[in-house]
Amino acid sequence: TMEENVMKVMEIAPVEFMAGTMPVDLTDTSEDGKWAVSYFTGLSDAAKITDVAVYESMMGSQAFSLVLVRTAEGADAKAVAQEMTDNIDTRKWICVGADEKIVAGYGDTVMLIMLDSQLGLKAQSYVDAFTQVAGGELDFTI
């Protein structure tokens, strides 16, 4: 599952603050459900994805978000990644913002990592961890 893959990435590249994995209900078409998809992925809706898991801070104000999505059959993973890149709000936490953002893909899975480098972290570390979890060379990095 996406949640298991998120945890594998986080085992390779852990953080020093309290954080956890959160699933996003893609079947929730209410305004709150649509907001959650957009807030976490940058996508306007869930039509091109079938599964998503998010790893973010549970307490405090740390600009850190790792998101894995599985694209729907027939969806162009790179196009989904580009939409995520173009539309994710790097200041979604209001009082803090991410200054590093990378979106990468392997097969039907897209990973978004954005973080504040002042946390002492590097987005590339999470791309490298995702590469290990994927077990092969990534198809693209944006």
Read off the pLDDT of residues 86-97 as tens digits, 9 standing for 90 and up. 999 999 988 899
In this prediction, what percent of the chain has a pLDDT beyond 90? 82
Q: For position 10, what pLDDT does the model report? A: 96
Confidence of residue 58 (pLDDT cuts 50, 70, 90): confident
Which residues face 2 on adjacent strands?
Answer: none
Distance CA 88, CA 85 (A): 6
Q: For position 60, what pLDDT does the model report? A: 72
Confidence of residue 23 (pLDDT cuts 50, 70, 90): confident
Give me the mean pLDDT over the 65-78 stretch. Answer: 96
Per-residue 3-state assignment (H helix, E strand, C coil) for the chain = CHHHHHHHHHHHCCCCCCEEEEECCCCCCCHHHHHHHHHHHCCCCCCCEEEEEEEEECCCCCCEEEEEEEECCCCCHHHHHHHHHHHCCCCCCCCCCCCEEEEEEECCEEEEEEECHHHCCCHHHHHHHHHHHHCCCCCEEC
Mean pLDDT for all residues in the chain? 94
Q: Which tens digit of pLDDT belongs to each residue from 107-126?
A: 999 999 999 999 999 999 99
CA dihedral 122, 81, 62, 29 (to 10 degrees): -160
* pLDDT of 29 strictly over 90: no
Distance CA 52, CA 65 (A): 13
